[in-house]
Structure 1
């Protein structure tokens, strides 16, 4: 019997490399103006992505996005600190809240790498159907992750369902039908629970 692999060693190597490069971009982006940051990251981090076979546009967007994410990533989250000063709130807690609410932005650059069609990059030419499907999958992932972060979709969400939705959100980013089906299976209990709870709430009203 043949064997089927959802992920290969090459996929795992690429993912680990992306995580470390993303962390490096966030660290280097702490407190640095955007223009200077982009020039620095293109010189330091982008060549590493090029060696991994990432298309140029996707690699540039990857390093730029993660560099900008430093603006809302504690402990040096300058944008969040500025907002805290305006709101007269605790700077560190504001930074934590900003990063938590911005998790969707954290996974977006991964989508650029795994699905460069989102940037209109394709080796076989632009395919509207492929673009639409990939965009819908990524939107579903961001919605799932955002609902997990705030603990609410149709009705308030319990801890277990929040974990399931968060996991589904990350899996949705993987560029394959198998991954999307797996994400749907993972999210199904939470989605069904939310729909039934909302229906019961409307019926009671």
Structure 2
């Protein structure tokens, strides 16, 4: 029986331009890469689904950064207007800033970077991959809206995995159309019996397994 690596977890602030965004950075011993999470509309770094996926990645030796794409003050506005969660330009710029911030951290600067995006966060992840092609080495989208990043899709250069629930027909179609615009190596993985949030028994575990394998394989190819 193997014992998991020690994982150091830090509450911190990610510098995104002039804005500080609250986050959590978890770093296993001998980390093989780091994955930044772009949460979906109306969610935050406390997303139970993303935190679960992050824990599976940590067990596989990958560092993870979960952070809020909006400040507390912006969250208050968004709860009332629901506008900022769909401001893909704002969310994308903050993801780009987060990747730049990650690469300046002494412990992480030499590690390959991956992005995990859920819902609208997937568009921010894809825009970031297109903006930082030399830095982002893999992208995974969970129930994502890659259709909200149409100009970025043909510019993405890293391996990209699109995961969609089999009982989420509208999002399946959006992802199929987005996949057709991707030039980079990519796969569309449809999880049978899963709805948009993968709430059914065993379905989120399947997402986490798929994401883990995608990042580990992509990072190992990058370093080989």
Which one scores higher on RCO, CA 8 angstroms, separation ≥ 6?
2
> Normalised by the size of structure 1, how large is the TM-score?
0.31
Question: Normalized per residue, which structure has more strand?
Answer: 2
Question: Normalized per residue, which structure has more helix?
Answer: 1
Bigger radius of gyration: 1
